[in-house]
């Protein structure tokens, strides 16, 4: 999908696309966002996303490198065996967005524990309800819509940039390719569309930083994902996969991905041809435990 730099001045009238009972859980309230010095828009929050194609690759990476990618040392990646952490690469095609035209996005995140306390390995991933400060830090987020880049920058401080992102089916894979402004690919991920059907109905926290203040906002999603697991990757450090799933380029947009020392053997894939999700404004009552 080519990037879109034109920002409509009014909201898209697409309320008829959000009849699924999932959305009835999340009542919306209006909130005005200053996108540019000359343009503000009033959106309903949380944002509703319907009929989303989701292709996720979960990989192991170097723990120290993942910790260095976080903006505060009190934010600790969830420890995995053999000195590693996880990086989650989530590729989305948002077919229906409340009030907003369709777009593509890649969320590059590190699962973490935010704040003081024991640095528990693995367990926060298995039982997140036991860890109130468990969540995900977004270290990269290319998107095809300038409007959504500005929303992400100005509301949450998310590191969104407007790039070309193509997503397509190739054989048994969903392929996502992101390109530098000059058209050079810097990210390519192949996610198998097959797998064990697994129902997810999940809430989580997304951590970010805006103007020196740490924020967290709630995300929710529901769908049936085809899941492929490679559990042996937990113990086989730097194993070689049977084929290439992730390609990281040499351009500037891929620098942080290269710094994480991501292992080529995937840990898990999740694919859903359609799911529903929401993303809310930052939680007004939350304050980072390490901030006065």
* Residue 8 belongs to a domain: no
Residue 117 confidence (pLDDT):
75
CATH at 125: 2.40.400.10
Confidence band of 118 (pLDDT split at 50, 70, 90): confident
256 in helix, strand or coil? helix
Q: In Å, how far from its chain's centre is CA 172?
A: 23
Backbone phi, then psi, for 276, in 5-degree steps?
-125, 150
44 falls within a domain: no
**Would you state the pLDDT for residue 268?**
98
Rg of the chain over Cα atoms, rounded to whole angstroms, equals: 18
For residue 3, is it within any domain? Answer: no
CB 276 within 8 A of CB 221: yes
In the predicted model, is pLDDT for residue 116 greater than 80? no
Helix or strand run (H / E) with residue 218: strand 213-229
Question: Domain for residue 234, yes or no?
Answer: yes
Tell me: the pLDDT tens digits for 18-52? 999 999 999 999 999 999 999 999 999 999 999 99
pLDDT tens across 194-216, in order?
999 999 999 999 999 999 999 99
Q: Is 285 contained in some domain? A: no
- Rounded CA-CA distance 62/79 in Å is 10
> CA–CA separation, 290 vs 292, rounded Å?
7
pLDDT digits (tens, 9 = 90+) for 65-110: 999 999 999 999 999 999 999 999 999 999 999 999 999 999 999 9
Q: Which residue has the tokens 């194609």?
A: 53
Please report whether residue 218 resides in a domain.
yes
* 64: nearest Cα among 259, 270, 292: 259
Asked if residue 172 lies in contact with residue 192, where contact means CB atoms within 8 angstroms, the answer is yes
**Is the preceding omega at residue 248 within 30 degrees of 0, hence cis?**
no
CB-CB contact of 131 with 57 (8 Å): no
The average pLDDT across 213-230 equals: 97
pLDDT band of residue 238 (cuts 50, 70, 90) is confident
Q: What is the 3-state secondary structure (H, E, C) of 5-62?
A: CCCCCCCCCCHHHCCCHHHHCCCCEEEEEEEECCEEEEEEECEEEEEEEEEEEEEEEE
Q: Are 95 and 14 within 8 A, CB to CB? A: no
pTM: 0.97
Residue 264 maps to a domain = yes
Q: 247-290 pLDDT, tens per residue?
A: 999 999 999 999 999 999 999 999 999 999 999 999 999 999 88
- What confidence tier does 115 reach under pLDDT thresholds 50, 70, 90? confident
pLDDT over threshold 80, residue 292: no
Structural domain count, the chain: 1
User: Residue 129 sits in which domain range?
Assistant: 53-92+102-272
Residue 166: CB atoms within 10 Å: 16
Sign of the C-alpha dihedral computed for residues 72, 121, 91 and 220 taken in this order: negative
Beta strand 266-282 with 213-229: parallel, antiparallel or unpaired? antiparallel
Report how far residue 233's alpha carbon sits from residue 225's, in angstroms, rounded to the nearest whole number: 21
Q: Is residue 78 part of a domain?
A: yes
């Amino acid at each position: 999908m080519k990037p879109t730099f034109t920002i409509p001045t009014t909201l898209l009238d697409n309320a008829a696309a959000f009849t699924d009972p999932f959305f009835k859980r999340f009542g919306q309230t209006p909130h005005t966002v200053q996108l540019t010095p000359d343009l503000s828009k009033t959106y309903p929050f949380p944002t509703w996303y319907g009929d989303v194609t989701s292709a996720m690759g979960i990989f192991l990476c170097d723990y120290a490198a993942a910790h260095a990618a976080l903006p505060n040392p009190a934010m600790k990646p969830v420890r995995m065996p053999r000195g590693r952490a996880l990086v989650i690469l989530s590729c989305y095609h948002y077919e229906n967005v409340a009030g907003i035209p369709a777009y593509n996005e890649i969320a590059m995140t590190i699962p973490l524990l935010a704040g003081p306390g024991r640095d528990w390995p693995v367990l926060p991933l298995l039982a997140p309800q036991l860890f109130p400060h468990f969540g995900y830090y977004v270290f990269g987020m290319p998107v095809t819509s300038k409007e959504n880049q500005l929303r992400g920058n100005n509301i949450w401080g998310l590191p969104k940039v407007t790039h070309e992102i193509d997503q397509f089916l190739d054989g048994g894979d969903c392929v996502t390719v992101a390109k530098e402004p000059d058209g050079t690919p810097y990210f390519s991920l192949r996610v198998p569309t097959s797998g064990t059907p697994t129902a997810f109905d999940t809430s989580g926290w997304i951590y970010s930083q805006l103007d020196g203040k740490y924020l967290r906002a709630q995300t929710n999603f529901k769908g049936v994902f085809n899941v492929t697991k490679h559990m042996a990757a937990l113990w086989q450090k730097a194993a070689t996969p049977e084929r290439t799933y992730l390609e990281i380029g040499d351009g500037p947009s891929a620098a942080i991905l290269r710094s994480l020392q991501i292992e080529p053997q995937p840990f898990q894939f999740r694919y859903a041809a359609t799911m529903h999700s929401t993303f809310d404004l930052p939680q007004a009552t939350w304050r980072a435990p390490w901030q006065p």
